[in-house]
Amino acid sequence: MSPQFGPHRWSAGHHRNDDTERFRGARFTVADLSGARFVDCDLSGVKIVDGYLADVDVSGYVERLVVNGVDVTAYVESELDRRHPERVQLREIGSAEGFRAMWTTIEQLWTATTARAERLPESLLHERVDDEWSFTETLRHLVFITDSWVNRTILDQETPYHQLALPQTAYSTEDAVALGMHVTATPPYAEVLAAREDRMKLVRDLLTPLTDADLGRPCHRSPAPGYPEGPRPVAECLAVVMGEEIDHHRYATRDLTVLESRHTP
């Protein structure tokens, strides 16, 4: 992906918990943190000295991760690229045609994965693995991503959110409800799938006539109230959408493997 299409991590600004800085610069000495769980936390600059790390699972944006004096970042990235070549395809996008090809890849990945999921009982599609989003919740979040970065930002719609859209956990539930989202709802899988298919078609319809000149057009509306303000080019918005699609597909397939192991036909 060319530099102007580079990935960014967006958060919802004031929707964060007011107590987020309580542990900034904290020092834990001879402390038992076994079983601790850090969700959507900024761990940049963290240093662990003489720690005991066994069965540790780390996921997220990783840059310069050093383990026992060895920078393992490049290895992790190259292994992810090997397992998920769509990551490489996304980084190498440099044109409107590249975005169309990337979306075709995403549609193919999700078509296969959705068919795989639907071989399970519906109850499992609503079941969380290790407290991560269920398959149904993941689809709802991707509806939110499309509404935020396509409908609102690129297409400049003020309140485009589907009622079944599910924002990130850091986003205020009260604010999401005010925007028309029923975040605590437990809709049937078929309803969520219909919303998801509608939003995927929306992206396809947007990309079909897209030209290289369109990619640089600035979008002035933020993805959702509370996000950082400022213009973003169409290309950047599309890159966020496709990056989210790829990342959540990886999480979904990981968890489907666990759910399949629980299911005895």
- CATH code, domain with 187: 1.20.120.450
Please state the domain count of the chain.
1
- The pLDDT tens digits of the residues spanning 161-182 come to 999 999 999 899 999 999 999 9
Q: How far apart are CA 12 and CA 227, in angstroms?
A: 4
* 32: CB partners within 8 A, 6+ apart: none
CB 203 within 8 A of CB 150: yes
Identify the pLDDT of residue 160: 97
Residue 41 lies inside a defined structural domain of this protein? no
Asked if residue 96 is part of any domain, the answer here is yes
The confidence score (pLDDT) of residue 29 equals 86
**232, containing H or E segment:** strand 232-233
The answer to whether residue 197 is domain-embedded is yes
How high is the mean pLDDT in each 10-residue block of the chain (265 residues)? Answer: 40 50 84 84 85 84 89 93 96 97 98 98 96 97 98 97 95 94 97 98 98 98 93 97 97 97 81
The letter for the amino acid at 140 is R
Does any domain span residue 149?
Answer: yes
Query: Do the domain assignments include residue 46?
Result: no
* Calpha distance 178→175 (Å, rounded): 5
Residue-level pLDDT at 25: 84
Q: What is the pLDDT of residue 19?
A: 67
Which structural domain range is residue 216 located in?
92-262
In 3D space, the residue among 40, 54, 45 whose CA is nearest the CA of residue 27 turns out to be 45
With residue 60 as reference, give the H or E element that holds it: none
Q: Is residue 218, in this structure, part of any structural domain at all?
A: yes
**What would the two tokens of residue 125 be?**
């599609």
**Is 48 inside a domain boundary?**
no
Q: Has residue 227 been placed in a domain?
A: yes
